[in-house]
């Protein structure tokens, strides 16, 4: 569903919990609130524009995930261990294009040396 609206994950990982006064591990750094606490995984997603985000929200298959989206709208400061960090898509495209350009130039130079 995410790829259909051209969204992509930027960073994902497990929540780095803190020990609270009650001896339990809590994930929210601002205050302990049971509604905002006990996060175990975090995924930050980038959408190309608001329309793409709303297209995802209107998708009927996405409706089962709406309670998690609503929970994420409340203010919670959760430290995350970055287990997956994806560079911006433009960087990946630029790197692939540069590699293709340099490979083509190298193959052309190698071919012209054999011909001479």
Q: Are strands 80-85 and 8-15 parallel, antiparallel or unpaired?
A: antiparallel
In angstroms, the CA 35 to CA 33 distance is 5
Q: Do 18 and 75 sit in the same domain of this protein? A: yes
Tell me the CA distances in angstroms from 86 to 35, 65, 80, one per residue in order: 29, 23, 15
Residue 71 has pLDDT above 70, yes or no: no
Lowest mean pLDDT across 55-59, 80-84, 104-108, 109-113 = 80-84
Q: Do 68 and 104 sit in the same domain of this protein? A: no
Q: Do 102 and 57 sit in the same domain of this protein? A: no
Question: Which residue segment(s) compose the domain that 21 sits in?
Answer: 3-85
Residue 106 pLDDT class (50, 70, 90 cuts)? very high
Residue 72 pLDDT class (50, 70, 90 cuts)? low
The closest of 14, 12, 13 to 25, measured between CA atoms, is 14
Q: Do 33 and 73 sit in the same domain of this protein? A: yes
Domain count, the chain: 2
Lowest mean pLDDT across 11-15, 76-80, 88-92 = 76-80
Alpha helices in 6-116 (DSSP H): 50-58, 66-73, 89-115
Q: Do 8 and 46 sit in the same domain of this protein? A: yes
Q: What pLDDT sits at residue 90?
A: 82
Q: Do 21 and 69 sit in the same domain of this protein? A: yes
């Amino acid at each position: 569903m995410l790829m259909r609206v051209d969204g992509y994950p930027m960073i994902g990982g497990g929540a780095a919990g803190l020990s609270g006064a009650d001896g339990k591990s809590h994930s929210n750094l601002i205050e302990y609130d049971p509604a905002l606490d006990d996060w175990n995984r975090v995924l930050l997603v980038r959408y190309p524009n608001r329309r793409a985000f709303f297209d995802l929200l209107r998708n009927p298959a996405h409706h089962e995930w709406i309670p998690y989206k609503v929970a994420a709208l409340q203010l919670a400061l959760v430290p995350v261990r970055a287990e997956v960090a994806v560079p911006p898509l433009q960087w990946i495209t630029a790197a692939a294009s540069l590699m293709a350009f340099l490979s083509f130039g190298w193959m052309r130079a190698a071919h012209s040396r054999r011909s001479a």
